[in-house]
Amino acid sequence: MPLLRGEFLNAISRYKHLMTRFLDVEALGQLVREIGLESFLIQLSDAIRDDFKRWEQFQKSPRVANHVPGGVLELMPTADESLYGFKYVNGHPKNCHRNLLTVMSFGMLAEVQTGVPVLLSEMTVATALRTAATSAVAAQVLARPNSRTMAIIGAGAQSEFQAMAFKVLLGVDEIRIFDIDGKATEKFLNNLNDTSGLKLVAADSVSDAVKGADIVTTATADKTNAIILSPEMIEPGMHINGVGGDCPGKTEIHPQILRDAKVVVEFEPQTRIEGEIQQVNSDYPVTELWRILCGTTPGRESESQVTIFDSVGFAIEDFSMLRLLRTLAETLDVGQMIDLIPTPANPRDLFQFVR
Where in the sequence numbering do the catalytic residues fall? 246
Packing angle between helix 182-192 and helix 159-170, nearest 10 degrees? 40
Q: What is the DSSP letter of 3?
A: P
- Regarding beta strands 149-153 and 215-218, do their DSSP bridges make them parallel or antiparallel, or are they unpaired? parallel
Residues 289 and 27: their CA atoms lie apart, in Å, by 32
Packing angle between helix 124-142 and helix 159-170, nearest 10 degrees? 40
Residues 218 and 226: their CA atoms lie apart, in Å, by 11
Please check whether residue 276 is in contact with residue 244, taking contact to mean a CB–CB distance below 8 angstroms: no
- Give the ranges where the chain is alpha helix by DSSP (H): 5-17, 25-35, 37-53, 124-142, 159-170, 182-192, 206-210, 255-260, 268-274, 289-293, 315-332
**Cα–chain center distance at 88:** 13
Residues 302 and 81: their CA atoms lie apart, in Å, by 38
Q: 3-class DSSP state for residue 343?
A: coil
**Which residues, other chains included, contact 292 with Cβ-Cβ below 8 Å and sequence gap of 6+?**
141, 142, 264, 298, 299
Q: Give the length of the chain.
A: 355
**Cα–chain center distance at 290:** 15
Is residue 311 exposed (0-12), middle (13-18) or buried (19+ Cβ within 10 Å)? buried
